A and B are shown apart, each in its own frame.
Chain A
Amino acid sequence: MPIPDAKFFAGIDVGTTTTKAVLLNADRQLAASFVRRSGTDLGASANTALEQALERAGSARAAIQAIVATGYGRRNVSFADDTKTEIACHGWGCHYYYPETIAIVDIGGQDSKVIKLDAQGKTIGFKMNRKCAAGTGAFLEDIARRLDLPVGELNGLARAARQTAKIGSYCTVFTATEVLDRIRQGERTDEIVRGLFDSIVKRVMEMDALVGKVVMTGGVVAYHDIVAELLSARVKTQVLVAPHPQEMGAFGAALFAAEM
């Protein structure tokens, strides 16, 4: 049942692929969230995501105390009270759950990041991918289309594979050519798919040295948790999937909103 007097703090993460809205209650607990495709009208998408989250919380706009926007389209959210980068928001969100020294690996629709935090949640370093979508959600979507597979089936296929195909190319376009060549040579699809996830892991490893506890966020790991296992196997350290990984940026933004 909705609580009539409930107050909320909102975070909206307008990503390149999806827009996420998160509502926190007065105790800074996640009360509701909503995820939708970003589309081309980023401001409208942010507004719709927020309205949908409010509906899930059984509340209305007047209950919102503050809004912080983040993500690629953060400047398009004209009704936000402030903006923060997704680096700050993923960091602050993860620090809420892991108040210790951690490395965050966020893989989104068209970018990936490594963010390092100290035990106080202060960013002590960060890296973003170069101007290239290899190793991101867009890469998976593109290759899935070429393999004529629904993206949602990739995780299961990779888990069923007994071996990992080696994918050596550096960019999405060349990887697609390489995958088609593997198919022509008769390699198993599940092993190729597992190899694709492994190539994402390798792109992440190139960005920064990962030691200590690693926490993964973003849409890719939300739907393909095999990435965390493959990353753990390669970097030989503990790799956790954060709670609500896809909404972590919006969650961090909502935490900032609660501090305003």
Chain B
Amino acid sequence: MTDEKKVVRKELETSKDMKKFMADYYLELDHASQTGERKIAWCTSVGPAELLRGMGFLVYFPETHSAMLGSTRAAMDYIPHANALGYAPEICSYLTSDVGAFTQGFTPLTKSFGIKSVPKPDVLVFNTNQCRDVQDWFAWYGRKFNAPVVGVRTYRGVKEVTDSHIISIAKQIENLIQPLEQVAGKKFDMDEFQRAVALSRECSDLWKQVLETAAAMPSPLTFFDGTTLMGPAVVGRGTQAANDFYRKLLAELQERAYNHDGAVADERFRIYWEGMPIWGRLRAHSELFANLKSCVLASTYCNSWIFTALDPNDPFNSMARAYTELFIVRSDEAKEQYIKRMFEFFRVDGIVYHNARTCPNNSNSRYGMPQRLEANSGVPALVIDGDLNDLRCLSDEQTNTNIEAFVERLAGK
């Protein structure tokens, strides 16, 4: 009969530690916001967090907050409020859901951690390596809180990262010191900065090892697990606590891999996810693939918090390199080579591209990449239409049929 058996997933033991990590992180920010005991910097998710930590700031990442709005589907209630302020439905739905929620006095932090409001920024620091929308997003809050907004303006479509890229970006990072000193009320300390870079590099290396456990057959980890487990790498890189968490997680995943304990029961197909998650459908998609005995085990998205170039002995240049080597900054040619390496490393049977309506920089299906990569790698490709947070851009039935038909195709029908 057609009654589908619901897959029961075994939760990772370490995920409990992550909940505590995230609670501690937000509660510390909230305390600082209320007491003014520590300065708070808002930072884009792949912004210069190491510099901010090295200068003593607590660092808040609004993108993670937006992902919470998406995964709880609260985003749908608040996007229209930002649209009404002139922030169009076509622009980043992280921005529109976050700004919309703020205007209505809502934050998912209340339900999760008992926190009434997002922490008040003393300064907002962006890097446009993701997109231009982060500038507009931070500019809105800068006006709202009367706080300075500074940032790094990156290159786009970089094929090879050259010295000229590094010199320019490193100089921009260095130039942040003076305005940040003014906000922090203290002098930049090179030793503290180098310490933060060293911790961040260690976090990156551990996170990379965590993700690479998915190369095991069956994979002990799914992309859907990764999108939540990456929390400490995003908000906590440059801290000892994040590294302690990933050391424990890595040990658990290595044990699962050793015991052939797959994240998806009877793994038949191994799939790579290209693009943003559809936060409001994370569980649904996880179950959909699991029921099809297909493991989405690797992604460009989760890999985006690997910064192997970071070097505490050359902090400015290595940060510039790490944040320019990122997939999202690169040319299509470089991106295709990268994905092909991932296909081989993770022994991938197929790739799903998420064409996120409001996130063009994270949607790599718009300039012929799926067709080119399929032709020269032989790995079948599927493109699904959706969005990170705006579920108006999603048709569940079309998505489900596309994915089921894709797995049928992989199975040879």
* Residues of A bordering B, CB below 8 Å: 69, 72, 74-75, 77-88, 91-92, 111, 122-126, 128-131
A80-B401 contact, Cβ under 8 Å, with A88-B408, A123-B409, A130-B385: no
A80-B2 contact, Cβ under 8 Å, with A122-B413, A123-B413, A131-B394: yes
Is B15's beta carbon under 8 Å from chain A? Answer: no
Given A85-B401, A130-B385, 12 other A-B residues pairs in contact with their CB atoms under 8 A: A69-B2, A72-B397, A80-B1, A82-B2, A84-B413, A88-B405, A91-B413, A122-B409, A122-B413, A123-B405, A126-B405, A128-B402
Q: Find the B residue at minimum CB distance from A131.
A: B395
Query: When the two chains form their complex, are residues A85 and B405 in contact, meaning their CB atoms are under 8 A apart?
Result: yes
Residues from chain A with a CB closer than 8 A to the CB of B393 are 131
Residues from chain B with a CB closer than 8 A to the CB of A128 are 398, 401-402
Is B105's beta carbon under 8 Å from chain A? Answer: no
Out of A72, A74, A85, name the residue touching B2 (CB < 8 Å). A74
Out of A79, A81, A88, name the residue touching B413 (CB < 8 Å). A88
Query: When the two chains form their complex, are residues A84 and B2 in contact, meaning their CB atoms are under 8 A apart?
Result: no
Query: When the two chains form their complex, are residues B404 and A85 in contact, meaning their CB atoms are under 8 A apart?
Result: yes
Interchain residue pairs with CB less than 8 A apart (21): A69-B2, A77-B2, A78-B1, A78-B3, A79-B1, A81-B1, A81-B2, A82-B2, A83-B2, A85-B401, A85-B405, A85-B408, A87-B405, A88-B405, A92-B413, A123-B405, A128-B398, A128-B401, A129-B398, A130-B385, A130-B398
Q: Chain A nearest CB: distance from B235 CB in Å?
A: 33
Assembled-state Cα–Cα distance A155/B409 (Å): 35
Q: Find the A residue at minimum CB distance from B393.
A: A131
Residues from chain B with a CB closer than 8 A to the CB of A130 are 385, 398
Q: Give the size range of B's interface with the partner.
A: 10 to 19
Give the interface centre of A79, A83, A87, A122 by most chain B CB atoms within 10 Å. Answer: A87
Q: Chain A nearest CB: distance from B121 CB in Å?
A: 36
Residues from chain A with a CB closer than 8 A to the CB of B4 are 75
Is B412's beta carbon under 8 Å from chain A? Answer: yes
Of residues 370 to 413 in B, which have CB atoms within 8 Å of A's CB atoms? 380, 385, 393-395, 397-398, 401-402, 404-405, 408-409, 412-413
Residues from chain A with a CB closer than 8 A to the CB of B397 are 72
Q: Give the 6 A-B CB pairs with smallest separation, nearest first.
A: A87-B405, A131-B395, A85-B405, A123-B409, A88-B408, A85-B404
Give the interface centre of A74, A111, A131 by most chain B CB atoms within 10 Å. Answer: A131
Q: Chain B nearest CB: distance from A81 CB in Å?
A: 7
Residues from chain A with a CB closer than 8 A to the CB of B405 are 85, 87-88, 123, 126
Query: When the two chains form their complex, are residues B2 and A126 in contact, meaning their CB atoms are under 8 A apart?
Result: no
Residues from chain B with a CB closer than 8 A to the CB of A87 are 401, 405, 408
Assembled-state Cα–Cα distance A85/B402 (Å): 8
A78-B398 contact, Cβ under 8 Å, with A122-B412, A122-B413, A131-B385: no
